[in-house]
Amino acid sequence: MTEIETLQKWLDESRRAVFFGGAGVSTESGIPDFRSVDGLYNQSYAYPPETIISHSFFLKAPEEFYRFYKEKMLYLDAKPNAAHRKLAELEAAGHLAAVVTQNIDGLHQAAGSKTVYELHGSVHRNYCMKCRKFFDAPFIKQAEGVPRCDLCGGTVKPDVVLYEEPLDALTMERAVEAIANADVLLIGGTSLAVYPAAGLINYYRGDRLALINKTPTPYDARANLILTGRIGEILSQIRV
């Protein structure tokens, strides 16, 4: 059997597969990994992304935070790609229990996925830091400089997990539960280097761990199946 045939068999037989994905899933929708913004070639930012996208920087320099955020993290015209669509189909057909994602773009939900655990939050949820009023992503995009609450004038903050901030405990708990109960764990578009990816996959107890990636990861030795290539191209070969 080829690798893709094996994956097909596993997904056919699965009733509670979990997909764990990272930035590579969204790059095929034209959303670059903001971590790849290179200081040497990007003269318009004085700090590395990890500094700008941190809690203390947000409080200290919200104008600069939002300049980066709107330019490098807010892609409201992006559309779901073949990977997002196939995962939504697999869930609808009763094979996939959940998507656990490190992405913040909401493209899994846009493709129709229902159970999505967003470890790093979502650009589609934004709240006033004073009165908690909700604002959508277009409000943020259109705001001049720092978005302010129209009710109380408070600063509006994206519900995105910044560096120095803890992950949402309930989201983590649900992701752990889904992975611990998974019959197939499919991992794609992540080098597994970003916290908490590596820790999470240790909760998987089965022997059907499939990795889809363009390049080797430190977890290849743990995988039962490795598919090398673009995730959209690989998943589009799966029949649901």
Query: Of 83 and 137, which CB lies nearer to Zn ion in the complex structure?
Result: 137
Minimum separation from the CB atom of position 73 to Zn ion (A): 22
Query: Of 45 and 127, which CB lies nearer to Zn ion in the complex structure?
Result: 127
Exposure string of 8-38, with b = 16+ CB inside 10 Å and e = fewer, is bebbeebeebbbbbbbbbbbbbebebbeebe
Contact yes or no for 185/204 (Cβ under 8 A): yes
Residue with tokens 């709107």: 70
Which residues 123-162 are close enough to bind Zn ion by CB under 5 A? 128, 130-131, 133, 149, 151-152, 154
Active-site annotation holder among 84, 95, 108, 120: 120
Q: How far apart are the first and last CA of the chain?
A: 18
What is the SS3 string spanning 85-117?
A: HHHHHHHHCCCEEEEEECCCCCHHHHHCCCCEE
Q: Which residues make Cβ contacts (< 8 Å) with residue 149, sequence separation at least 6?
A: 128, 130, 131, 133, 135, 155, 156
Query: Of 92 and 131, which CB lies nearer to Zn ion in the complex structure?
Result: 131
- Give the number of residues in contact with Zn ion, rule: CB under 5 A: 8
Active site residue 120: yes
Minimum separation from the CB atom of position 134 to Zn ion (A): 10
Minimum separation from the CB atom of position 150 to Zn ion (A): 8
Minimum separation from the CB atom of position 61 to Zn ion (A): 21
Query: Of 128 and 186, which CB lies nearer to Zn ion in the complex structure?
Result: 128
Which amino acids are annotated catalytic? 120
Q: Which residues bind Zn ion (CB under 5 A)?
A: 128, 130-131, 133, 149, 151-152, 154
